Amino acid sequence: MASSHITSDLINNLMDKVRPGITVSSFKVETGSRRGDNYTAMLFRVVINLTDGSEESLIIKCLPDSIVRRQAFKSDVLFQNEVAFYTQALPALLSFQEENCKGGIKFSSVPKCHLAQDDLIVLEDLKARGFDMPDRKTGLNLDQCTMVLRILARFHALSFAMKYREPEKFQHLVKESVNEVYFTLDNEDWYRDYYRTATRNALTMVKEKLTGIEMADYIEKFKSFVDGDSVFRSMVEMVKPREPLAVLCHGDCWSNNIMFKYNNSGYIQEVCLVDFQVARYGSPALDIVNLLYCCTSHELRTSFMAQLTEDYYSTLCVTLDQLGCPENLVFCKEKPLKEMLLKEIHRCGRYGLGLAIDMIPICTCDSEEAPDLYEAQTQEESAEPVSSFNEQCQQKMSELVQELIDNGDL
């Protein structure tokens, strides 16, 4: 099913910008994501044949044609936030980097955006450049996780540096351009039933998995965390910016929003972050715990958590130096940066668990269990959490609860 947005005029106008002087002979529209890989927008891959014999491939992101679906998933608000990211926040940060970066690796791990407007975003096709999305059910391995954290560190460093060197520009062009679109008290009534169902499902899974008297304390502490409407309100508090550790965050850093390109030897060559609908101004730890607690195994975190956070911190410091803002200059009036970061990661453990209650069932479900945004919908519909009670889902949820309680984060 092709979106009504994708017309011959649109494709011709895009090609005038992407490949000026070369006209379109034909184009083909395909779905750009599998069922279960995307929830709030429709993605299409458009393969364009040009008159010079060459071919271009673009990804076109549209609002769902169904008004019912848009309302169910709050697609309009999320879409506008991503448009603001591509048209205001990201250009400001990249311009600052171009003017101030003194050698080293520059942050460029986002797809090229050809157009971003109210109901349409057009991006380069990363698959055409050899990028692939990891298997959400398998999760990320150590090499993948390390590379993504380095990318996040470079991305976050741009905010720290620009906020220090050009505070007024940063305030206007970056901080104020994006909004918290999900965890706000204005949304509490909207998501109340959603989170009640999600937390009830999670508690059922954990109870079934953690049996025996020795597990009673884990169950009680988790039950206290998910009691009533406390989870959503806790998330609202967690996402509020706390200076000086506040940056432009990706906001939805999980497997389906990360793409990898490998060399012929199977090593990671490049990483690209996609889908910035939930971009927010907040703690960098929000992105870190999102990645670690929703996309990695308990075994990986137990063995390599310290190594991964140290690598993130080292990359952040190197990037700040390259931007002319060494750590001791930016944070000289506060505690050591490393100490602040580690404290933030522990503080945001509850946020990571709140996300995991929603995301682990999504990560572990089969595609046919997920909503199909490409299917026509005219009747009333509401967003509902995926209710997956498979063994993998129960195991991951229970291990995370135990881990956070053992770490003193819950």
Domain-located, residue 53: no
SS3 (DSSP) at 6: coil
What is the C-alpha separation between 377 and 367, in angstroms, rounded?
18
pLDDT at 35: 52
Domain-located, residue 210: yes
What is the C-alpha separation between 364 and 136, in angstroms, rounded?
7
Model confidence at 377, in pLDDT bands (50, 70, 90)? very low
Q: Do 122 and 114 contact (CB within 8 A), yes or no?
A: yes
Domain-located, residue 58: no
Domain-located, residue 34: no
What is the C-alpha separation between 189 and 185, in angstroms, rounded?
8
Identity at 358, one-letter amino acid code: D
Reference 123, options 177, 87, 96; nearest CA is 87
- Would you say residue 15 has pLDDT above 50? yes
- Would you say residue 62 has pLDDT above 90? no
pLDDT single digits (tens) 300-332: 999 999 999 999 999 999 999 999 888 766 675
**Tokens in use for 140?**
């990320």
Provide the 8-state DSSP code for 296.
Answer: S
What is the C-alpha separation between 55 and 27, in angstroms, rounded?
9
Angle in degrees, CA 287, 118, 50, rounded to 5 = 95
What is the C-alpha separation between 400 and 405, in angstroms, rounded?
9
- Would you say residue 38 has pLDDT above 60? no
pTM: 0.91
What integer is the mean pLDDT of 79-94? 97
SS (H, E, C) 62-98: ECCCCHHHHHHHCHHHHHHHHHHHHHHHHHHHHHHHH
- Would you say residue 387 has pLDDT above 90? no
What is the C-alpha separation between 78 and 180, in angstroms, rounded?
9
Of 124-138, 145-159, 188-202, 374-388, the least confident: 374-388
pLDDT at 290: 97
SS (H, E, C) 209-223: HCCCHHHHHHHHHHH
* Total number of domains constituting the chain: 1
Domain-located, residue 28: no
Cα 50 vs. chain centroid, distance in angstroms?
34
Buried b (16+ CB within 10 A) or exposed e, 137-158: eebbeeebbbbbbbbbbbbbbb
**Residues of the domain holding 159:** 66-110+132-406
Q: Which residue has the higher pLDDT, 283 or 40?
A: 283
Model confidence at 94, in pLDDT bands (50, 70, 90)? very high
Q: Do 386 and 359 contact (CB within 8 A), yes or no?
A: no
Q: What CATH number is attached to the domain comprising 173? A: 3.90.1200
Domain-located, residue 222: yes
Between the two ends of the chain, the Cα-to-Cα distance in Å is: 45
pLDDT single digits (tens) 198-228: 999 999 999 999 988 878 999 999 999 988 7
SS3 (DSSP) at 270: strand
CA dihedral 402, 404, 407, 408 (to 10 degrees): -110
**Tokens in use for 97?**
């980097």
What integer is the mean pLDDT of 370-387? 53
| Separation in Å, CA 410 to CA 27, 361, 398, 407 | 53, 20, 13, 8
Rg (CA), the chain: 21
User: How large a percentage of the chain has pLDDT more than 90?
Assistant: 69
Share the mean pLDDT of the chain. Answer: 88
| Separation in Å, CA 367 to CA 41, 43, 95, 205, 259 | 16, 16, 40, 20, 19
pLDDT at 36: 46
Identity at 171, one-letter amino acid code: Q
SS (H, E, C) 342-391: HHHHHHCHHHHHHHHHHHHHHHHCCHHHCCCCCCCCCCCCCCCCCCCCCH
Identity at 90, one-letter amino acid code: L
Domain-located, residue 38: no
- Would you say residue 254 has pLDDT above 90? yes
117, β-bridge pairs: 120
Model confidence at 378, in pLDDT bands (50, 70, 90)? very low
pLDDT at 66: 60
How many distinct helices (H) and strands (E) make up the chain? 15, 10
Domain-located, residue 393: yes
- Would you say residue 372 has pLDDT above 70? no
SS3 (DSSP) at 55: strand
pLDDT single digits (tens) 136-167: 989 999 999 999 999 999 999 999 999 999 99
Identity at 20, one-letter amino acid code: P
